Each structure stands twice: as structure tokens, then as C-alpha cells.
Structure 1
Amino acid sequence: MRHYDLVILGTGSGNMLLDEEFDHLRTAIVEPDRFGGTCLNRGCIPSKMFVITADAVEDARSAARLGVHAHVDPVEWKAVRDRIFNHIDPLHDSAVNYRREKGVDVYIDEGHFVAPKVLEVKGEQITADTFVVAVGSRPVVPGTPGLDSVNYHTSDTIMRIDELPASMVVIGGGFIAAEFSHVFSAFGTCVTILQRGPRLLTAEDEQVSARFTELAAQRNRVLLNATVTSVEPHGDGVSVTVACPDGTHVIEAASLLVCVGRRPNTDRLDAAAGGLELDEHGHIVTDSAYRTSVPGVWALGDAVNHFQLKHMANAESRLVRHNILHPEDVRTLTNRVTPHAVFTNPQIASVGLTEQEARRREMDYLVNVRNYAATAYGWALEDTTSFAKILASPADRTILGAHIIGPQAATLIQPLIQAMALGSTVDQVASGVLYIHPALTEVVEQALLAL
């Protein structure tokens, strides 16, 4: 039985912990898949590289509104795919070699706990004074009748297919479904989206969700309040039967993409055998410092939180790193302002309370919605559908939430995120700084001034 000072399970944000301050420790990393985790290999990074390409296609097609008449030749799927993964795939081997050269033992097989702080990897048991569990998550595969009889894809596999499908059914209406629907419809695939709820992106502010649903339905076939009852093979593709308020639909397509959520990988780790307390969703329970129920075991990322956001996992990794190195100065993640963005078309960004949440909590709030079209840059864009929405407290004038749908949304929201994190008032952010004219940031300024 080998013993280590530190063992890290998972090489997404978990891999970020190790630097020269750990060089004096005997350390090991356990990673049965590729270094970099979901974000680098199957998630944020490659998907955004596809999104950037899709945005370029859409910009060309919509340029006529600016007096530019352009067309797009058929997208070379393999060229796009290979350009992306030729950047990404070599990083795994270089990361493994780097860690081993630094004296870290790298286990490339799946590990599972057999007792608290005892891990079994390929028949060998290892122990450690300190464990960090950062094993991430994976796509949920529903128990839809017939799904196991067809070739379907999840976000893990869809980006590596060999041919661009002529048609695709997307089951799900969340951010992963929204991004991939944008990519494939931009590339020329006929996309049908099946959403169980009344709108797409129902976790967003209702006004944003409704606007996005309206715009998505102009590009794709969208069936709402839809329940998939069965799936079966049809030729080289699939046939999907869907129950909708207006009756039953049978949709045939060349490809099927399932995007109905993600689940933590704690079951594969056998976290319970390791003494780790889990919540009802299978996430590891930690305190605010990311200590688990087992002393000396820390956890972070998708295995712990429900956000499924790389920037959240990175912040947790930095915190856990500090706490391991400085046990006399254990810190907590005090900033609970957690923003996110959906890189679809149009782009969406959000932070804090939605208006429906504020109503549900019976909170007093002020709200202003400002259209991009109210700004000079919005005129230049000929934008008629985008807006920024800000909620504020009438009592202390702080920002409660912000929601933007439109070009550059993920960038435009950043000063509002900072204002919320720092406790700045609407008045300070509106009038205490200068906004460049005629930049698109004026849509944020105008909404703040109105509040």
C-alpha cells in the first residue's frame, strides 16, 4: 500500500492545485480520462471554438441588414473539428509528462474508495494524509424507451463526429442544448428542439427566456411542453415520438443529441465507501471551506456544487490550495455572486436574482430594461431584439441581479458582477464612472441611470 502526502482525484480544476509550493510533498494524481477535465476536452473550450465559427457564419448571413451582401459556402465540418482538436488533444500527453517530470505519480486508471482515505486503483490500494476530490460530472442519459437501441450523442461525443448531419433532434432546452443548436443550425443542419418546459432556458430571467425562445423558434423547429415517449431506429437515423399539447408528433432525423443535464461522478468514485456525505443529487457535502465529512479530504468543482461552471471550480481550487498550504489560516469562499453566460445566438449573461425569484421571495425591487437599440452602438448593429435588465434594492440601492441578451453579453455584464461583489450602489456605478461613447456598454449605463 503506497502512502502519499497528497492525492488529487481529477485533473480539471483539480490539476490547478499543484505548483512549486507542493514540490516538497509526495503527491499523486488519479485521472482515468484526459487531463484538463470536461472544460478542456468536452466542454467550454472546444464548444466555444465551435460557437465562434458558427457566429462567423451567422454574421455573414445576416450582413444584408448592413448593406453587405454575402453568402457562406458549405461549412467544412472536418476542417473545423480538426482545427479545434488539433489544438486541444496534444495537451493531455504534455500535461502527463510534465507532472511526471515534476515527481508526481500519475495514475491513468479509475480509482474508487474502499474505506475512508483508502483508494483502490487497478487493484492497488493507496492512502494519503490529504485527498482532494475533483472528479467532475458527466451527461445524464434518461431512461427513454428505445434510447439504448439507437446511436445517440451527448455533449461528450457530438463535437467529434465525422460528418455534419443533415438533420438533428435535440432533446433538452438548457444551455448545452442552446449552444449546440446554434452551432449545428448555423452550419446547415435542420434542428428540432424538444423542451419539456414552457420556454427554452427556463433557468434564466423569464423575459430573457421568452425572448430567446422566440428567436430560436425563428431558426429552428421548437416544440415546447414536449415529452419524449420513445425513440427507435429509422434507416441510418432515428425516429422520435413526442407527446405535445397539440397531440403526438413523430420526428425523423439523421442524428439525436441528448442534453438533459449532468450528474456528479461520485458514484463511480464510490464516495460513500470513502465516508463522504452526499446530498440527494449525489454531490459531496462540504463546509464553506470545502472540507468534507472526512478530516483531510477536500472536494471541489462539479462533484460538489450545482453550478457546473468552470470559473466557480477554479475559484474553489484556489481556495482549497490555500487552505491545504495554510491550515492555520483556513479561508472560505465569501463571494457568492456567481455569474454565468450562455454562448448561443444571441449570447446571454446573468448574475444574481431574476425577476421571478424576487417576486417569489416577495422582495421589494426596482427594475429597468434597456434595449440595445437605445444606444448609438445598437443603432450601428441594427439590433432590434437585445436588451439589458437590471434589478436593484430600493432600500440600500445595491444591485440584486442583471440579465443581458444580445451581442457581447458576457463581457457587458462584468462591471455589474464587480459592483455586486463589492457592494457598490446603483448610483455609484451609474454616475461614479465614465462610460465610453459610443460603446455598447452604454446600454448598461442607461439602465443604471434609469434606476
Structure 2
Amino acid sequence: MRHHDLVVIGAGSGNAVIDDSFADLDVAIVEERWFGGTCLNAGCIPSKMLAYTAHVARTVREAGTYDVDADLRAVHWREARDRIFARLDVERDEGRTGREQQDAVTVYEGTARFTGPRTLRIEGVDGAVDVSAGQIVVAVGGRPVVPGPVVEAGLPYETSDTVMRIDAPPRHLAILGGGYIAAELADVFAETGSSVTIVEKEEHLLGEQDETVRERFTDLVRSRYELRLSRELTAVGGRPGALRLTLDDGSTVESDMLLVAVGRLPNSDRLNLRAAGIATHDDGRVIVDRHQRTTAEGVFALGDICSPVALKHVANREAEVVVHNLRHPDDLIAADHELVPAAVFTRPQIASVGATEQDCRGRGLDYLVGTAGYGDVAYGWAMEDTTGFCKVLAEPGTGRLLGAHIMGPQAPTLIQSLVLAATLGIDATTLAKSPYCIHPALTEVVENALLDLDL
């Protein structure tokens, strides 16, 4: 049995664990599919590159709003797809090649399963190999959830793993699910010419967002998509290219393509974790402590396999924690998931950090609400934006920021000053009145929302 000092399972954010500080060790990395993980190959990066393409198309389409005479003749899907993935596939391949060329790193291409404490069997194209390790990092991420009625139908469907590489946009795309993946891809395909129907079991899209955001977003997109809200899928029929979705009220949706975007689940069920003594939560996430240590000695985990917040920037931060703790066992550091910002790159863009208003009520917190609209500041006038807004929640008396939510252009950038303030303990009054805000920039929307708290 081959022994390594360290084995990393998963070459997404797990690949970031192997830095120069491990040059004196015998290190191995196991990857069954993609170097770069979901983010590079089928997630954050390609979806945002497509979202920006959609944004450019929309800018041309709506140029008349600004007295500009322009016509959008076409969005060339296949060319855009090839431009994006030609770049990303090179990044993926270079990541693999770079590791293979390192003398101290062994790359295993295959699927790893635990056979005992810190021992693995790796099944690859060339057969199986057994390895042991002094330490192991589990970073195998997650995968899309596919509901039973879709699986049982035996008919074609797409997920976020596959839909961005299709050859042409569908005439009519049905999307099952109403979260951030569904919202982003709905916007992309609508701008490339598809008619879109969204089937969502909740009464609003983006159900985990602050109540004001989800309500206003849902109302805004009613004119762009057909929404079947408070509905669940019971069956899929028809034939490839002519699907029929039956919903729980007996109604149907006809489409030529189905995108399943109802959520993701961790890949823990593929690892035989019990053999290693690694415990999981009821939802399948690997249990870790503040230092990213699992319940098995010498085994760490990071990213979507264990994190309560399945976002790439969280996985990267957890990788930094794991790197330090592997090398400094007597000086452990912790990952903090208290104030993690998140964004939805759709139209309009959305960004958030901290508590929602419904969270505050549910926890019995006293709080104040401050709001401001894009249409109330000069740059909002320039953009002719009448729907964007910033909403901040703060503790009465102290002004401590509890949460912040922005919907509108540049929201993922505008949120950052509020992220910094909440993280560093800067109260709302200080943030609003101490630093200058450039006039006339969109940052004035944030400033005005803070002042509206009336502390």
C-alpha cells in the first residue's frame, strides 16, 4: 500500500491546500472529474461570464431608454459558449498539468472511497490502487439534486453541470426550482431567446432572501417569465424535445428542455465515510469543528462537503484555515461563517450579508430598518433605475449592523462597505457620517439607507 504524508480528495478548492509549505512532504491529490471543481467548470465562473453576455445583450436591447438608436441582431450562443469554455477548459487542464509536473505531488485520477482510518481505495481508469496517509483533506464538493419524478421518467434533463455547454438555447425552457441558480440561468436563457417557465414550490422566488427582496424580485420577473409558484412536479412525460411536466394541481407545462435547479447535496454518500469514522449531519454534510477537523483523527474537510454556506469564497477561506492547521497543529485557527456575503447575478443583481428581516423577527431581536432607492440618487437618475434599493437592519441604540440587502445594478460591489462594517464592528452612524461617499455615485444609496435608520 502506497503511503503519503497528505492526501487531498478533490481538486476544486482542495487544490488550493497544496501550497509551497508542503514541498517537504509526499503529497497526493485525487480527482475524479474536474480540476478546478464546480466553480471553474460548471458554476460561479461560466455562469457569470454568460450572465455578463446577457447583460451586454440587454444593454443593446434597451438602449432606446437612453435615447440611443441600437438594434440587437443576435446573441450567438455557440460562439459565446465556446469563447467561455475554451478559456476555462485551458485553466482546468493547466491546473492538472501543473500538479502532475510537481515532483512531490502524485495525481490520482479516479474515485476515492475510505476503506478504514486514513486509508483509501482509488478506482480509476487503469484499475484500483490502495493508499494510506498521515493526514487527509476531504474536499469533494456536491452535486445537483434531481427529484424522483425526473429520474423515474427516464427522459432527458439538464442541470447546472450540463446546461451551459449545450449547443443551442431551447425554444422553451422549463426550470424546476426558484433559487439563485434558477434565477441566474433563467436570465441568461431569456436574453438568448428562450421563453422560460419557472416551477417553484414556494410562493416567491429566491425564498432565502430578505422578504422585501424576494417579493419585489418575484413581482419584477413576472413580466419576463411564466411563473408557476406554490406548485410541485409530480411527473414528467412526453418525449425528448417535447416534454410535458405535470404539476400537483393537475396543470401541465410543455417545453423542449427541462433544467433541474432545486438545490445541491454534498457528495458524502460516495466516500464510505463510516469506514473512516467520519460523522455527518442529517443532510449529509460532514461534521467539522471550528478548525475544519472531522470526527476522525487526522482528517479535515472543507467546502460544500461540510460547509453550512456552500459558496466558493467560503470554501477558499476554509482551505486557508486547513492549510494553516495542517502545518501548525499547536496553533489552530478557525473559520468564521457568521457574516458571509452572497450575491445573485441576475437582473436585477442582488447582494446580502447577515440577517434578513424575517430572521430578526424569528429570533426576537429589536431592530430598525433603513431603506433607500436607486431612484433617489443622481446616478440612479442617470441609469433610469426605478426599482433598485438598499435595505439595512441595525440594533437600536448601538447602531450595530445586523444585516444588509441590496437589489439593483452593481449590488455585489455596493454591499462590500456594509460587509466590512458588520465584520469590523463599525456602527451604522459612523459608517454613514465619517467616510465621504463620492457624489454622484451609487454608494449614496448605501449612505442614504444608513441615514434612514434615524438612530
Q: Please give the TM-score of this superposition, normalised by the length of structure 2.
A: 0.97
Distance 1:91 1:338 in 2: 27
Contact 2:371/2:450 (<8 A) preserved: no
Which residue identity lines up with residue 227 of structure 1 in the other structure?
E
Superimposed CA distance per residue, residues 299-336 of structure 1 (whole angstroms, 9 cap, x where no aligned partner): 01000013210000000000110111111210112462
Which residue identity lines up with residue 388 of structure 2 in the other structure?
S
Q: Provide the residue aligned with 2:117 in structure 1.
A: 116
Q: Provide the residue aligned with 1:138 in structure 2.
A: 143
- 1:76 positional shift: 1.0
Distance 1:180 1:147 in 2: 24
Distance 1:163 1:12 in 2: 28
- 1:251 positional shift: 1.4
Q: Provide the residue aligned with 2:246 in structure 1.
A: 241
- 1:366 positional shift: 0.5
Q: Provide the residue aligned with 1:432 in structure 2.
A: 434
Superimposed CA distance per residue, residues 378-407 of structure 1 (whole angstroms, 9 cap, x where no aligned partner): 011111111000000014211000000000
Are 2:20 and 1:15 equivalent residues in the alignment? no
Distance 2:295 2:69 in 1: 62
Which residue identity lines up with residue 30 of structure 1 in the other structure?
V
Contact 1:146/1:232 (<8 A) preserved: no
Superimposed CA distance per residue, residues 349-369 of structure 1 (whole angstroms, 9 cap, x where no aligned partner): 010000011111111001011
Superimposed CA distance per residue, residues 147-188 of structure 1 (whole angstroms, 9 cap, x where no aligned partner): 542110000000111122111100000000000000000111
Displaced runs of 4 or more, over 3 A? 145-148
- Classify the secondary structure of the residue corresponding to 2:236: strand
More deviation, 425-434/327-336: 327-336
- 1:146 positional shift: 6.6
Distance 1:215 1:145 in 2: 29
- 1:240 positional shift: 0.7
Which residue identity lines up with residue 239 of structure 1 in the other structure?
R
1:170-189 matches, within 5 Å, as: 170-189=175-194
Given candidates 136, 146, 161, the residue that maps to 2:166 is 161
More deviation, 89-98/14-23: 89-98
Given candidates 101, 111, 126, the residue that maps to 2:131 is 126
Q: Provide the residue aligned with 1:206 in structure 2.
A: 211
Q: Provide the residue aligned with 2:199 in structure 1.
A: 194
Contact 1:272/1:278 (<8 A) preserved: no
Distance 1:188 1:292 in 2: 47
Q: Provide the residue aligned with 1:266 in structure 2.
A: 268
Aligned residues: 448
- 1:12 positional shift: 0.8
- 1:274 positional shift: 1.6
Structure 1 gap ranges (5+): none
Are 2:38 and 1:33 equivalent residues in the alignment? no
- 1:447 positional shift: 0.8
Distance 2:337 2:248 in 1: 43
Structure 2 gap ranges (5+): none
Distance 1:302 1:29 in 2: 18
Contact 2:236/2:243 (<8 A) preserved: yes
Which residue identity lines up with residue 106 of structure 2 in the other structure?
D
- Classify the secondary structure of the residue corresponding to 1:144: helix
Distance 1:69 1:194 in 2: 36
- Classify the secondary structure of the residue corresponding to 1:89: helix
Superimposed CA distance per residue, residues 206-263 of structure 1 (whole angstroms, 9 cap, x where no aligned partner): 110011101111111111101111101246321111234xxx3211111110001100
1:273-292 matches, within 5 Å, as: 273-292=275-294
Q: Provide the residue aligned with 1:51 in structure 2.
A: 51
Q: Provide the residue aligned with 1:362 in structure 2.
A: 364
Are 2:396 and 1:394 equivalent residues in the alignment? yes
Let me know the Cα RMSD of the aligned residues.
1.2
Distance 1:96 1:192 in 2: 39
- Classify the secondary structure of the residue corresponding to 1:327: coil
Which residue identity lines up with residue 22 of structure 1 in the other structure?
F
Which residue identity lines up with residue 67 of structure 1 in the other structure?
D
Given candidates 300, 314, 317, the residue that maps to 1:315 is 317
Distance 1:92 1:422 in 2: 36
More deviation, 149-158/326-335: 326-335
- 1:86 positional shift: 0.4
Which residue identity lines up with residue 108 of structure 1 in the other structure?
E
Q: Provide the residue aligned with 1:107 in structure 2.
A: 108
Given candidates 202, 205, 220, the residue that maps to 2:225 is 220
Q: Please give the TM-score of this superposition, normalised by the length of structure 1.
A: 0.97
Distance 1:371 1:176 in 2: 26
Inter-CA distance 304–335: structure 2 relative to 1 (3 Å threshold): closer
Contact 1:51/1:182 (<8 A) preserved: yes
Inter-CA distance 147–233: structure 2 relative to 1 (3 Å threshold): farther
Contact 2:400/2:426 (<8 A) preserved: yes
- Classify the secondary structure of the residue corresponding to 1:252: strand
- Classify the secondary structure of the residue corresponding to 1:128: strand
- Classify the secondary structure of the residue corresponding to 1:438: coil
Identity percentage of aligned residues: 46
Distance 1:240 1:107 in 2: 41
Q: Provide the residue aligned with 2:75 in structure 1.
A: 75
Contact 2:17/2:320 (<8 A) preserved: yes
Distance 1:267 1:105 in 2: 25
Inter-CA distance 334–302: structure 2 relative to 1 (3 Å threshold): closer
Contact 2:309/2:337 (<8 A) preserved: no
Distance 1:243 1:68 in 2: 46
Distance 1:211 1:440 in 2: 20
Distance 2:13 2:325 in 1: 16
Distance 1:148 1:242 in 2: 14
- 1:69 positional shift: 3.0
- 1:92 positional shift: 2.6
More deviation, 105-114/145-154: 145-154
Distance 1:334 1:269 in 2: 26
- 1:43 positional shift: 0.3
Distance 2:276 2:153 in 1: 32
Superimposed CA distance per residue, residues 77-132 of structure 1 (whole angstroms, 9 cap, x where no aligned partner): 11010000000112232222211221210001111001111100122211111100
Distance 1:36 1:355 in 2: 36
